[in-house]
Structure 1
Amino acid sequence: MDQTQIDPAKAWLEQLLKLGGISSNVVPSEVEEACWLTIEDTSLTPEQIAKLIGANGEGLDAMQYLINTILNLGKEEGARTAYTVELNGYRSRRYQELRALAENTATQVRQTGIELEIKSLSSVERRLIHNILKDSEDIETYSQGTEPDRRLVIKMKS
């Protein structure tokens, strides 16, 4: 990750926060080949943190969707940068929860041979589970349905 990818993302997110009446710095870092943009929470109230994260991370998801769409607009697929917006450790905690959910569900599928659906996941969370299980030799994942009732399915490979 180089500064030409990090600096515009940091500036864009700080400007978005400022427009929303929130003054906070954004600290960029590289995590698993993605640019993580962590909103510093030291000057934020618990209410501001809750509003920014939103119900089930919807606020973070919205900011992340916007920054990925806007900053990658017109770029070839190989030149795009994956940005993750983090606040108060929410993404890290949720990632661990999703990893455990993916592994437990895959174990159940292996034991029973029956495919299982996971409901109530955002598109970001479905993509994470797809990535967590993508290298499995015996398990595959796919999404079915349409928003807002899109579900992730885990099943044995054919």
Structure 2
Amino acid sequence: MTDQRLDRGKQWLEQLLSLSGIATTVDTQQPAGASATNYWLTIDPSPLTPTQKELLVGVEGATIDAMQYMANASLNIHQEADLQAGYTIELDGYRHQREIALRAIADEAAERVRATGTEVALKPMSSAERRQMHTFFDSDPSYSDLATYSRGQEPDRRLVIKLAQPPSGEEI
């Protein structure tokens, strides 16, 4: 039995690419350990020219982020809760490489916060990348002494890392 959400995502992205004049296919997968409603839509890079790949990723990932946002918004609108899903669009290892870079940024910022005791505001990033950074800090035990929040307005919204509040020990 195929997953209707996965099929819907694949068809949507293949149609978007076709309407954009880009002839390629989309591979689908649900990463091991991922949420049951989290799907990856991977664009096959083999028939694409370097220029097409650059255009699909965009400057600092702006195009691929926009496609991913559109996929998540349009594929989930008017869907019952059990038919909603989260979609990640991948092309030529971009998301994997970006995750490595974001982890390095998180590690460096964590070191600065711990060394100085003051909060660190990162450069503006997309909502998807801010959400990914929040998840790093929330789920990785090595960051348990730190907290994150977002500050500012788009397109200048920034992730801020600070020391977590120590337990007060005082009773109210």
Gaps of 5+ in 1: none
- Rg larger for: 2
CA deviation after TM superposition for structure 1 residue 76, in Å: 5.7
Give the fraction of aligned pairs with identical amino acids, expressed as a percent.
45
Which letter does structure 2 place at the counterpart of 1:155? K
Structure 1 Cα separation of the partners of residues 105 and 97 of structure 2 = 12
| Corresponding residue number in structure 2 for 1:29 | 29
| Corresponding residue number in structure 1 for 2:147 | 140
How many corresponding residue pairs? 157
- Under a length normalisation based on structure 2, what TM-score does the superposition of the two structures give? 0.86
For 1:1-158, what aligned pairs fall within 5 Å after superposition?
A: 3-31=3-31, 32-33=34-35, 34-75=38-79, 80-135=84-139, 136-158=143-165
Give deviations 1:118-139, integer Å, cap 9, x for gaps: 0131111111100000134211
CA deviation after TM superposition for structure 1 residue 107, in Å: 2.1
- Under a length normalisation based on structure 1, what TM-score does the superposition of the two structures give? 0.93
State the 4+ residue runs in structure 1 displaced beyond 6 angstroms: none
Per mean C-alpha deviation after superposition, the further-off stretch among 125-134 and 101-110 is: 101-110
Structure 1 Cα separation of the partners of residues 114 and 84 of structure 2 = 36
Give deviations 1:8-32, integer Å, cap 9, x for gaps: 1000100000000001100011123
Structure 2 Cα separation of the partners of residues 75 and 15 of structure 1 = 20
Per mean C-alpha deviation after superposition, the further-off stretch among 12-21 and 26-35 is: 26-35
Per mean C-alpha deviation after superposition, the further-off stretch among 17-26 and 72-81 is: 72-81
Per mean C-alpha deviation after superposition, the further-off stretch among 110-119 and 68-77 is: 68-77
CA deviation after TM superposition for structure 1 residue 40, in Å: 0.1
Note closer, same or farther for the CA distance 1:53–1:139 as it changes in structure 2 (3 Å cut): same
